[in-house]
C-alpha cells in the first residue's frame, strides 16, 4: 500500500478535495484499521443537485480569500478545516478527519508498529456507560478501552475503564475526540501525564507515561499444569495474529485437549476478517455476524468452514471484560449466540459499528462509519455490550498474581485453580 506524501497541493475547489480520493478498498475495521488494497475514485466535481447546498460555503470561502485583512490566507488549511468540520458535525466519535501527519501515524499503527502510549480510547457518559458522543464534556468523557499488552500505558498502571479528565494538566472539556487523541499521541522518549479518575478511588490521580515504540504481540499461549486445558490469550485482531491464533488452536486440538480457555480481556479489536477467522475456529457454519449498511440492507458473513475446534466435544470458556471491544465482541457474540462457549467475566465495551479508512490525495484522510454489525441472532450491541453468562467482579485491589475470572473459568471446566501454575 502506498501512502501519499505530506505535500499538500493547492486545491481550487472543495469538490476536488473531497472527490479525488484514494480509497483503501474494503476498509471495514474496528479501532485499529483494516485494509485490502487501494483503488482511485475520480469524480468530476460537485453534483448539480448540491450546488445550492454548497453556495453558503463558497460565499464564506470567497469572502475569506478576497477580503480577510488579518494576514496571508493558507487555502489548503481552509479546505482542511472545512473537511474536519464536516466530520465533527456528524457527532460520531468513530468518524473523523486526520491530518497528513496523523493519517501517516495511523497507517503505521495499522502495520503493527507505532509510537505513543499504547492505549485504545473511547467515550462514556456521566454514568460511565458507553456513549456515541463526540465532543468532550461532563456528560461525554474520554475512557481507556484497554491498554495494549506490554505498552507504556500498561506498565505505568493505566487500566481499562480509567476516565481521562486532563492531559498534562489541561482539561479535555470542549475538545473533539480526535483533538484529545492528538494531545496524548507523541514521539518515543517524550512524556505525557494523564489525570485519570478510577472506579473505587475518591480522587483523580496523575499518571506519567513515557511514550515508546509500540510493537504488539497478539497471541500468547500459557501452559497450565493440567495438560487437558488449553489457554490462549488474544490481544488484538490483525491478519497475522488471527493466523497465529488458528495455529495455536490446531496444536491444542492435535494434542488432544478438549477444554479451551480463550482470553479476550483488554482486546480492543482490529480487522473484521480476523474476527471472522477467529470465530470460525469454533463455529462450523452459518453466520458469525451480520452487517447493515446505510440503506438498511443486511448481509450475513458466514463461518469459513476451516476451524479446528468446531466439534461439540470441545468445551470452550471465553474470558471477556469491559476492555473487550468491537472485533472481540464479534467473536463473543458469535460464540454466545451459537452456544459454542460459556462467557465469563464482565460486560463488554459495546462498539457495534464498522469504519472505513479513506486517504485524500496529499491532504490527510478520514475514517467514516459505514455500517453496523450485528451478532448471528441479529442483535446490535452498540453502547450496550455483551453480558457474560457468568459475571465475575474483579476487585480494584486485586493482587498481581490473582485472577478471579480465570479461576472461575477453570471451575466451569471442572478444573481446580491450581491448574494456573505453569507446567514444570
Cell output for 160: 481499562
Half-sphere exposure of 87 (CA within 13 A, CB side): 23
pLDDT of 110: 58
Residue 342: which H helix or E strand, with range? strand 342-345
Task: Compute the distance between CA of residue 104 and CA of residue 247 in angstroms, rounded to an integer.
Answer: 32
pLDDT at 43 over 90: no
Q: pLDDT band at 162, cuts 50/70/90?
A: very high
Question: Can you state the angle between helices 51-67 and 75-90, rounded to 10 degrees?
Answer: 140
pLDDT of 138: 92
pLDDT of 66: 94
The catalytic position among 321, 337, 361, 403 is 337
Known catalytic residue: 351?
Answer: yes
Residue 194: which H helix or E strand, with range? strand 191-197
The catalytic position among 324, 326, 328, 336 is 326
pLDDT of 78: 92
Per residue in 289-315, pLDDT (tens digit) is 999 999 999 999 999 999 999 999 999
pLDDT of 9: 28
pLDDT of 47: 58
pLDDT at 148 over 60: yes
Known catalytic residue: 326?
Answer: yes
Q: Where are the domains of the chain?
A: 14-106, 114-215, 219-358+369-420
pLDDT at 153 over 60: yes
The catalytic position among 84, 259, 351, 372 is 351
Per residue in 217-259, pLDDT (tens digit) is 688 777 665 668 999 999 889 888 999 999 999 999 999 999 9
Cβ atoms of 299 and 290 closer than 8 Å = yes
Assign domain 219-358+369-420 to its CATH superfamily.
2-enoyl-CoA Hydratase; Chain A, domain 1 (3.90.226.10)
pLDDT of 297: 98
pLDDT of 361: 78
pLDDT of 216: 66
Q: How far is residue 185 from each of residues 24, 45, 266, 325, measured CA to CA in Å?
A: 24, 35, 20, 21
Look at strands 259-263 and 21-23 and give their pairing.
unpaired
Task: Compute the distance between CA of residue 245 and CA of residue 40 in angstroms, rounded to an integer.
Answer: 34
Cβ-based neighbour number of residue 385 at 10 Å: 22
The CATH architecture that domain 114-215 belongs to is: Roll (2.30)
Known catalytic residue: 111?
Answer: no
Amino acid at each position: 500500500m502506498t501512502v501519499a506524501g505530506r505535500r499538500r497541493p493547492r486545491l481550487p475547489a472543495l469538490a476536488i478535495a473531497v472527490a479525488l480520493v484514494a480509497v483503501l478498498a474494503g476498509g471495514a475495521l474496528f479501532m485499529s484499521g483494516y485494509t485490502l488494497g487501494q483503488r482511485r475514485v475520480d469524480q468530476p466535481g460537485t453534483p448539480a443537485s448540491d450546488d445550492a447546498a454548497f453556495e453558503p460555503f463558497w460565499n464564506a470561502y470567497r469572502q475569506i480569500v478576497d477580503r480577510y485583512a488579518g494576514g496571508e490566507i493558507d487555502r489548503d488549511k481552509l479546505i482542511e478545516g472545512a473537511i474536519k468540520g464536516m466530520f465533527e458535525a456528524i457527532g460520531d466519535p468513530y468518524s473523523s478527519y486526520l491530518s497528513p501527519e496523523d493519517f501517516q501515524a495511523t497507517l503505521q499503527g495499522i502495520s503493527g508498529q507505532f509510537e505513543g502510549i499504547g492505549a485504545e480510547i473511547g467515550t462514556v457518559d456521566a454514568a460511565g456507560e458507553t456513549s456515541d458522543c463526540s465532543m468532550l464534556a461532563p456528560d461525554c468523557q474520554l475512557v481507556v478501552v484497554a491498554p495494549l499488552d506490554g505498552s507504556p500505558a500498561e506498565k505505568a498502571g493505566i487500566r481499562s475503564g480509567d476516565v481521562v479528565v486532563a492531559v498534562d494538566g489541561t482539561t479535555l472539556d470542549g475538545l473533539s475526540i480526535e483533538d484529545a487523541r492528538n494531545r496524548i499521541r507523541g514521539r518515543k522518549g517524550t512524556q505525557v501525564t494523564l489525570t485519570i479518575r478510577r472506579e473505587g478511588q475518591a480522587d483523580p490521580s496523575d499518571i506519567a507515561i513515557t511514550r515508546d515504540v509500540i510493537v504488539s504481540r497478539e497471541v500468547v499461549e500459557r501452559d497450565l499444569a493440567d495438560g487437558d486445558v488449553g489457554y490462549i490469550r488474544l490481544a488484538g485482531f490483525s491478519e497475522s495474529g488471527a493466523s497465529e491464533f488458528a495455529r495455536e488452536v490446531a496444536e491444542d486440538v492435535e494434542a488432544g485437549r478438549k477444554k479451551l480457555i480463550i482470553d479476550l480481556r483488554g482486546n480492543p479489536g482490529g480487522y473484521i476478517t480476523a474476527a471472522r477467522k477467529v470465530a470460525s475456529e469454533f463455529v462450523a457454519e452459518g453466520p458469525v455476524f451480520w452487517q447493515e449498511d446505510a440503506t438498511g440492507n443486511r448481509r450475513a458473513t458466514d463461518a469459513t468452514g476451516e476451524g479446528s475446534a468446531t466439534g461439540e466435544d470441545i468445551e470452550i470458556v471465553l474470558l471477556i471484560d469491559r476492555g473487550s471491544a468491537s472485533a472481540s465482541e464479534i467473536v463473543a457474540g458469535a460464540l454466545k449466540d451459537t452456544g459454542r462457549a460459556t462467557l465469563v467475566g464482565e460486560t463488554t465495551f459495546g462498539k457495534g459499528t464498522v469504519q472505513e479508512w479513506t486517504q485524500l490525495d496529499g491532504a490527510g484522510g478520514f475514517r467514516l462509519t459505514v455500517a453496523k454489525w450485528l451478532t448471528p441472532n441479529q442483535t446490535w450491541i452498540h453502547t450496550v455490550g455483551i453480558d457474560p453468562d457468568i459475571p465475575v467482579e474483579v476487585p480494584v485491589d486485586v493482587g498481581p498474581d490473582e485472577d478471579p475470572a480465570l479461576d472461575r473459568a477453570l471451575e466451569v471446566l471442572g478444573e481446580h485453580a491450581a491448574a494456573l501454575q505453569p507446567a514444570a
